[in-house]
Amino acid sequence: MGSDLSNDFNRFGHPGKYWKVTGHAGGIQAFTGSFYGAGAIYVSGSGFTVNDHVRFSGGGTIPLISLGESTTDLHEFSISEVSSSAASDTVYVLYTNKPRGVL
From CA 89, how far away is CA 43, in angstroms rounded?
A: 8
Lay out the sheet containing 53-56: strands in order across: 27-30, 79-84, 53-56, 61-63
Is 0.85 topped by the overall pTM? Answer: no
- The helix/strand count (H/E) of the chain reads as 2, 8
Picking from 25, 102, 93, the residue whose alpha carbon sits closest to that of residue 54 is 93
Q: Render pLDDT for 31-88 as a digit per residue (tens, 0 to 9).
A: 999 899 999 999 988 788 889 999 999 999 999 988 877 667 899 999 999 999 876 6
pLDDT tier at 101 (50, 70, 90 boundaries)? low
From CA 57, how far away is CA 55, in angstroms rounded?
A: 7
Picking from 62, 67, 64, the residue whose alpha carbon sits closest to that of residue 49 is 64
Q: Give the single-character DSSP code of 84.
A: E
